[in-house]
Amino acid sequence: MDGLTPDPVQLAGQEHFDAVLAKDSRVEPKDWMPDAYRRSLVRQISQHAHSEIIGMQPEANWITRAPSLKRKSILMAKVQDEAGHGLYLYSAAETLGTTRDEMMDALVAGKARYSSIFNYPTVTWADMGAIGWMVDGAAICNQVPLCRASYGPYGRAMVRVCKEESFHQRQGFEILLELANGTAEQRAMAQDAVNRWYAPSLMMFGPPDDDSPNSKQSMAWNIKRFSNDELRSRFVGMLVEQVKVLGLTLPDDQVRFNEESKTWEHGPLDWDEFKEVLAGRGPCNAQRLERRRTAHEEGAWVREAAVAYHQKQQDKQKAAA
Ligand SMILES: [Fe+2]
Ligand SMILES: [Fe+2]
């Protein structure tokens, strides 16, 4: 093409794409889509996949120290679910033409982003409760609307992911509930965990709307359905009610319902800290990446064995044909 004459394939593709979005229908892997839409989805889905995989670490850290066999088996199931979420999401991203190797290489090279929340340490057992209740809770608020994302494989992956996330949230809530009704020391431990995870979990929704460059386009493409601030406000409303059941408090005396805007408001968040953590300078960034790298290297023999097995099966089929 000379760049001046419109490409008829692209024109027809764009028209079809626009019609699909206008109907609020789904774009599928083989459909034509604008390059920017594809790039944006690869970025979002791969970051999401990395978050699930890196997110296994802060909790896996407590599997050997879980206070009972029941707690241990629940936590193991939860961490395994997160591995599954990562795998669905890598598969969804692969349908857009990027390979899992490329995504994994970017992650271990420290070039890919993942949710900043997983760079905070888990210092007590109560953190398992606060993570389940707040971090998985925030993930649900974010991901339920993504079940309707315009890209088919992403939206469908989210349906199952959300079902599992609600189990994660309940198990976390239940850990906190038990601690909050336990000894004074256990109760203090639960409150301390809620205090530490509150602000980072609110920041999981991303920067405020006026500082979120990709949001507008993402909403126009029917990927994102609500703005960061809308989702954050909804999440605060959920915490306010549930923390009463726990008999604990939120470390924020500015939480209030704004009758005019019908939204929940909260105190200021430290966005400089958010940016620092995202830039790789959070409390556990180096440790998380190092662990991921080691696991990747230690898993090389499994990948090689799978390739060798696949080759063997193909040779057998050829010989039989
Ligand atoms: Fe997950
Ligand atoms: Fe989860």
Residue linked to tokens 């990562």: 86
Predicted confidence at residue 267, as pLDDT, reads: 97
3-state SS class at 286: helix
Instruction: Output the CA 81–ligand 1 centroid distance in Å.
Output: 7
How crowded is residue 237: how many other Cβ atoms within 10 Å of its Cβ? 15
Instruction: Output the CA 280–ligand 2 centroid distance in Å.
Output: 22
pLDDT in tens, 236-247: 999 999 999 999
Predicted confidence at residue 213, as pLDDT, reads: 82
Predicted confidence at residue 12, as pLDDT, reads: 84
Instruction: Output the CA 154–ligand 1 centroid distance in Å.
Output: 14
* pLDDT lower than 70: segments of the chain: 1-4
Residue linked to tokens 């009463």: 244
Residue linked to tokens 């070039």: 111
The contacts of residue 131 (CB under 8 Å, 6+ apart) are 58, 59, 122, 172, 197
Predicted confidence at residue 137, as pLDDT, reads: 97
Predicted confidence at residue 138, as pLDDT, reads: 97
- Calculate what percentage of the chain has a pLDDT beyond 70: 99
Predicted confidence at residue 261, as pLDDT, reads: 93
The type of residue at 283 is: P
Q: Cα(298)–Cα(106) distance, rounded to whole angstroms?
A: 18
pLDDT in tens, 100-158: 999 999 999 999 999 999 999 999 999 999 999 999 999 999 999 999 999 999 999 99
Q: Cα(241)–Cα(137) distance, rounded to whole angstroms?
A: 13
Predicted confidence at residue 7, as pLDDT, reads: 81
Q: Say if CB 217 and CB 150 are below 8 A apart.
A: no
Instruction: Output the CA 150–ligand 2 centroid distance in Å.
Output: 23
Instruction: Output the CA 163–ligand 2 centroid distance in Å.
Output: 10
Residue linked to tokens 């060798």: 308
Closest CA to 78 of 93, 67, 62, 100: 62
Q: Say if CB 82 and CB 115 are below 8 A apart.
A: no
Predicted confidence at residue 6, as pLDDT, reads: 73
Predicted confidence at residue 2, as pLDDT, reads: 55
Predicted confidence at residue 10, as pLDDT, reads: 81
